[in-house]
Amino acid sequence: MLFVSVICSVLVLIQYRALSDILKVFGIYFLISNCIEILSLFLAENKISNLFLFHINTLIEFWFLVIFFYACDKKYGKPFPLLPVLIQGLIIILANSIFVQKIDMFNSYSATLVNLVLLIFSFRFFFVTMDVDVTKELKIVKLIVSCLLLVFGTSLVVLLFSNAMLSIATSYQLYIWDFRGILILSTKVIFGLTFAKLLFESRSKTLQL
C-alpha cells in the first residue's frame, strides 16, 4: 500500500504541469490522500492513534472531490452552486467532529454522508456526460469516476455497518476492511497507471517533435 501510494504520488508530481484543470484538481486530491495514507501507516506502525487523520481525510476528500465534480460539470455540463455545497459539507463534518464523534473517535457518520454525496455526484457525472462527445480527457475522467464509484459504493456499505461491525470478532472485521483496502489499492493502481500512461504519451510527443 505504502509503495503504491509513493509511486502514484511521484507520478502525479511529475505529470502535474501537463494535466488539464480537471485532472489537476484530482491530482492534488490524490496527492494529499496518499500523504494522509502514508502518515496514517506511519502512525499505526508507531502505535499512535491515527483516527484524527480520518476526520481530516473526510473533509479533504469532500472538498476536493466536490471541486473535481464542479470542474467536470463546468466543462461538460451545467455546474452546480459550488460554495453552498462546500460550506454545508464543512459545517456538517466539523459539527460531527466537534460535537458528535470527536476527533479521537471513528467518524462513521460524516464519512458515510460524504460517501453518499460523492456517490450521487458520480452518478450525476455519468448522466450529465451521456450526450457529450468522447474526448481523451473525458475517457480518463470517466475511468477515474468509475473507480471512485466502486470505492464509494463499497465504503458506503462498510461504513453503514461499521458500528454493528464493532460487535463481531476482530478477524471478521479485518476481512471486511481488507476487502475494502484491496479495492482502494486496485483503484490506486489504476490511477497510477493512468498518470503513467499520460506521462509516457507526453514523453513520446516530445520525442516526435
> Residues interacting with another protein, by CB under 8 A?
123, 126-127, 129-134, 146, 149-150, 153-154, 156-158, 160-161, 164-165, 167-169, 172-173, 175-176, 179-180
Terminal alpha carbon distance of the chain:
37
- 7 vs 183, beta carbon nearer another protein: 183
Cell numbers standing for residue 159: 461504513
- 181 vs 200, beta carbon nearer another protein: 181
- 52 vs 177, beta carbon nearer another protein: 177
3 state DSSP class of 69: helix
62, HSE (Cβ side, Cα atoms, 13 Å):
25
Radius of gyration of the chain (CA): 18
Query: C-beta of 207: minimal distance to another protein in Å?
Result: 30
Query: C-beta of 126: minimal distance to another protein in Å?
Result: 4
- 42 vs 161, beta carbon nearer another protein: 161
- 164 vs 207, beta carbon nearer another protein: 164
Return the sign of the alpha-carbon dihedral for residues 117, 39, 47, 96: negative
Cα-to-chain-centroid distance, residue 20: 18
Query: C-beta of 182: minimal distance to another protein in Å?
Result: 11
CA distance 140 to 152: 18
Query: C-beta of 65: minimal distance to another protein in Å?
Result: 16
Query: C-beta of 57: minimal distance to another protein in Å?
Result: 20
CA distance 73 to 94: 27
3 state DSSP class of 137: helix
